[in-house]
């Protein structure tokens, strides 16, 4: 099998959380373009339905929409069961749902802190484990977690200690699960995007004023594009990355190099 064939995902089934828009929408599209059937998982079910229809029409793959609160264990269990039943299996997943609350530490409420930790870390743990349970008993699979360059640096000028801590924890969780499951056929890796120009960022009143400052610090002088994360995720989901586990892939235009 040649390298192009190995990069294909024909016959594979997977899901992406936080996939109704932004990074998750782009990676789900990439998976489908590579031949996979994909579930668009999001709290915003109406938008997930639109995204699923859009990707299905563009790629000809089976793409379904599922509503799930990834911090709710019962909902995560039901979501994974639905993916398996409706798509016919589960070979990969991209656990991408996350939020950021920018607030000085001394002003951040405990409720704000816990909201970030619950979604960004606990939600990833729940989806990792539930997907892992299926993969461990059905021939293996690949799990991809969205961490962040914020796991490696402290962002400025915005204060975001909860986000930074949660994403650093995601990387350590990724490595821990990779070690536990290495001999059992389940690979676990993470991606750490830099500043990405999603619609949410480009249309956020609080973030737009920061873009000029971020770009001034960026070696490439610009934000990343969501579609620039597709290829690394397709690689990690497929057979060409069969010896790749426990790794974090920083995709940040060299932002963390200084």
CB atoms within 10 A of CB 56: 18
Domain extent at residue 88:
3-251
257 found inside a domain? no
Q: Number of helices and strands (H, E) in the chain?
A: 10, 7
In this structure, the strands spanning 37-42 and 13-17 are parallel
Q: Assign residue 158 the CATH number of its domain.
A: 3.40.50.720
Catalytic residue flag (residue 225): no
214 found inside a domain? yes
Dist. CA 36–CA 3, nearest whole Å: 17
pLDDT at 57: 98
Dist. CA 111–CA 64, nearest whole Å: 33
258 found inside a domain? no
pLDDT at 5: 79
pLDDT at 3: 77
Dist. CA 100–CA 115, nearest whole Å: 9
Specify which residues 196 forms β-bridges with: 224
pTM: 0.97
Catalytic residue flag (residue 148): yes
**Average pLDDT per block of 10 residues along the chain, 258 residues long:** 84 98 97 98 98 98 98 98 98 97 96 98 98 98 98 96 98 98 98 94 88 95 96 97 98 95
Collect all residues with Cβ–Cβ distance below 8 Å to 107 and sequence separation of at least 6: none
Are 219 and 257 contacting, i.e. CB atoms less than 8 angstroms apart?
A: yes
Dist. CA 45–CA 100, nearest whole Å: 21
230-237 and 22-33 are packed helices; what angle lies between their axes, rounded to 10 degrees?
A: 50
Active-site option among 166, 167, 190, 235:
167
Counting the structural domains of the chain, the total is 1
Burial (Cβ within 10 Å: 0-12, 13-18, ≥19) of residue 79: buried
Active-site option among 12, 142, 163, 241:
163
Catalytic residue flag (residue 167): yes
In this structure, the strands spanning 92-95 and 63-67 are unpaired
76 found inside a domain? yes
Active-site option among 29, 148, 150, 190:
148
Classify 25 in phi/psi space as left (phi over 0), alpha (psi -120 to 50) or beta: alpha
245 found inside a domain? yes
256 found inside a domain? no
Collect all residues with Cβ–Cβ distance below 8 Å to 250 and sequence separation of at least 6: 149, 152, 192, 194, 256
């Amino acid at each position: 099998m040649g390298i192009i064939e190995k990069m294909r995902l024909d016959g594979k089934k997977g899901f992406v959380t936080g996939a109704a828009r932004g990074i998750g929408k782009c990676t789900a599209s990439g998976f489908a373009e590579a031949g996979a059937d994909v579930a668009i998982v999001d709290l915003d079910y109406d938008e997930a339905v639109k995204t699923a229809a859009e990707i299905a029409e563009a790629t000809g793959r089976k793409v379904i929409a599922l509503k799930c609160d990834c911090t709710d264990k019962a909902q995560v269990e039901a979501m994974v069961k639905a993916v398996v039943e409706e798509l016919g299996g589960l070979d990969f997943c991209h656990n991408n749902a996350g939020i950021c609350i920018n607030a000085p530490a001394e002003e951040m409420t405990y409720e704000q802190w816990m909201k970030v930790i619950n979604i960004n870390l606990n939600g990833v743990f729940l989806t990792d484990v539930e997907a892992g349970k299926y993969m461990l008993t059905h021939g293996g699979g690949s799990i991809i977690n969205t961490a962040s360059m914020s796991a490696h640096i402290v962002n400025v000028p915005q204060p975001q200690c909860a986000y930074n801590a949660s994403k650093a924890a995601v990387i350590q969780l990724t490595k821990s699960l990779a070690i536990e499951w290495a001999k059992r056929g389940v690979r676990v890796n993470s991606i750490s995007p830099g500043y990405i120009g999603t619609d949410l960022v480009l249309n956020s009143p609080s973030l737009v004023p920061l873009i000029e400052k971020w770009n001034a610090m960026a070696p490439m002088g610009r934000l990343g594009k969501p579609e620039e994360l597709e290829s690394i995720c397709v690689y990690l989901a497929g057979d060409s990355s069969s010896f790749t586990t426990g790794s974090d892939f920083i995709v940040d235009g060299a932002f963390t190099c200084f």
